[in-house]
Chains A and B, each alone.
Chain A
């Protein structure tokens, strides 16, 4: 997928992309978008937009399933996502 600059700032679109097939991801990704996304450097914003294109079970395994990604950059993003307050 080619990510445009405008994709990074289209929060409404991202909010709908956070609607997933798994409740865990709905809750975590939506909360992350509200709490942390705005403060991310463009590099990580871009990575988040990319993350949303991954299949649900992959995002689930990375964020909730205790199987973190090997890629360093994604790892950094996922650890921020995991710090989101949802409880």
Chain B
């Protein structure tokens, strides 16, 4: 049967905040836009963001974008590109106002202005007093943003392909991206979407690790598509872990629990944070707490039949405090950990939360194919959101800056695509070889017979990533980890589907996702092994210091031969002076 084809000016893979904000700019400019999403758009992971989005509106306390920029550069542990960071912090203000005008119901002050919350890492006056920079729509910010952008896109006549799975990019010999092969999940039918430009907005990849706060859909599909197209991923070793996820499950137990007086204990009931951070104890920074938990477990002080987690004790706070100040935590623990925190401590373990690295782009959302910063970008290919790395988060991201990133760079990519399509108004001719290659990736899963199941290999892979490329990273175990993941990649060819039906075949979708996870996992493991310093979220007990002389550079990883290259950090902002690296103090 002939492959069905559709043509659009622009194709957007992903309907989270990044994809939808880009689509809206394009549809408003009367371009013919297709948005593909594997789940219904408002079920994208952006819906989980409750905290809010940063912008220096100065509605509650004095603030300006330059202070926001300082905090972001510092938070990035000086690995962020300062031109992109300046741009993001300036654009934050009009971006939030545009959302407001589009109908996002931000929480308000009595004077009618947008209310702003204070969060860690926000300062006035370049490191001075606490700032209040986060705008929220009650505790449903992500949902409010997605819902508003989706409605606006419907109005603007964006064409949605809901429950379609993007398989691979289609490219020609000259490197132009011509669209993508997608799969209709409901029917199992492939569809070729040809486009003059393609934007990847497929979100994060937390599912690479066994314990993660990310939804099941976060499998790094767009990142893996880029790798298979022979392009690099950048700074993949930088992954933010939240110290307290429900053990073995990943759901977040907020910092607020320790803020209210909850504390961590090991199998002997010892309050171990006193040992690692005598002053801050359980309120030490996220990475310190996460590493301490792992150290306890590695040294045999873990709890449970596998001795693989620690406990968060809250019952001493009393039922009233728990009910009043920590609503939700009790329910969550009861359902997902099977314990009532009023009576028993909650089993916890660090949970993979946010990937700072991703598809390298310049400040305009254009994908950069090489380590040559002044070199050409890839014609017609863009990326935005958590799957991308414009390098605004560097080695660690601040809370509230990632919704900002997806919105600012989604919008900007949209504007740049409009210009590109003006200059490149014709579709290029299709490259059949590339289509066949993408089709063969689909068809290989038709193979029948006995083999490893998807879930078997997936469990093994995610555990390996957690043990060998997670929070605790020392040379020997990382070398072992890379080898193990390579072997797992080899064994992918032995995986067989247990279901060969065509409609809503979750087994097949999960097989495609598993392949993506493994490709992305290797980029993390290999990049992390070679960065011999500790910076931001990447911590190497065997190289405990930040080394600005040798390592103030971005890692680029290519799938072919697991090749690495490096490129310098862009320390020169657009209009202001550069912030030079300063020692990190806890």
Contact = CB atoms under 8 A, between A and B. Distances in A.
A13 B505 CA distance: 8
A23 B143 contact: no
Range, interface on chain A: 20 to 34
A86 B143 contact: no
A63 B332 CA distance: 9
B251 interface: yes
Contact of A19 (B43, B251, B328, B339): B43
B336 A13 contact: no
B47 A16 contact: no
Nearest to A11: B504
A63 B186 CA distance: 27
A23 B48 contact: yes
Interface string A10-50: 10110110011111111110000000000000000000000
B216 A64 contact: no
Contacts of B571: none
B222 to A, nearest CB: 16
Contact of A15 (B42, B332, B504): B504
B490 to A, nearest CB: 29
A23 B185 CA distance: 21
Given A16-B504, A64-B331, A86-B335, A21 B48 contact: yes
B47 A64 contact: no
A47 to B, nearest CB: 19
A24 B506 CA distance: 19
Contact of A24 (B44, B330, B336): B336
Interface residues of B, number: 41
Contacts of B251: 23-24, 27
B337 A87 contact: yes
Interface in B33-58: 38-39, 42-48
A21 B43 contact: yes
A19 B43 CA distance: 8
Nearest to B214: A23
A21 B328 contact: no
Nearest to A87: B338
A22 B250 CA distance: 11
B332 A26 contact: no
A55 B214 contact: no
Contacts of A20: 39, 43, 47, 215
A15 B506 contact: yes
Given A19-B39, A20-B43, A12 B217 contact: no
Contacts of B217: 19, 21
Contact of A21 (B39, B332, B504): B39
A12 B505 contact: yes
A21 B46 contact: yes
Interface string B206-218: 0000001111110
A27 B212 CA distance: 12
Interface string B308-350: 0000000000000000000110111001111100000000000
B47 A87 contact: no
A16 B39 CA distance: 8
Interface SS of chain B: loop
A22 B336 contact: no
Contacts of B503: 12-13
A21 B44 CA distance: 5
Contact of A23 (B39, B42, B250, B506): B250
Given A13-B186, A57-B47, A65 B39 contact: no
B229 to A, nearest CB: 26
Contacts of B216: 19, 23, 26
Contacts of A21: 39, 42-48, 142, 215, 217
A79 to B, nearest CB: 12
A57 B136 CA distance: 15
Contact of A22 (B47, B331, B501, B504): B47
A11 to B, nearest CB: 9
Centre residue among A10, A22, A82 by max chain B CB count within 10 A: A22
B502 to A, nearest CB: 10
A24 B39 CA distance: 16
B47 A56 contact: yes
Contacts of A28: 335-336
Contacts of A25: 215
Contact of B42 (A55, A63, A82): A55
Contacts of B509: 16
A8 to B, nearest CB: 14
Contacts of A66: 327-328, 330-331
Contacts of B337: 87
Contacts of A23: 48, 212-216, 249-251
Most chain B CB within a 10 A radius of its CB, from A15, A27, A28: A27
B140 interface: yes
A4 B43 CA distance: 22
Given A16-B163, A21-B44, A21-B48, A55 B147 contact: yes
Q: Which of A21, A56, A86 has the most CB of B within 10 A?
A: A21
Nearest to B505: A12
A22 B215 CA distance: 5
Interface in B477-535: 501, 503-506, 509
22 contacts: A12-B504, A12-B505, A15-B504, A16-B506, A19-B216, A20-B215, A21-B217, A22-B215, A23-B48, A23-B249, A24-B332, A24-B336, A26-B216, A55-B42, A55-B47, A55-B147, A57-B140, A65-B327, A66-B327, A66-B330, A86-B336, A87-B249
Nearest 9 interchain pairs by C-beta = A87-B338, A21-B47, A12-B504, A26-B216, A13-B504, A21-B43, A56-B47, A22-B48, A66-B331
Given A16-B163, A55-B42, 9 more contacts: A13-B186, A20-B39, A20-B47, A24-B335, A57-B47, A57-B143, A64-B332, A65-B327, A87-B339
Interface of A: 10, 12-13, 15-16, 19-28, 55-57, 63-66, 82, 86-87
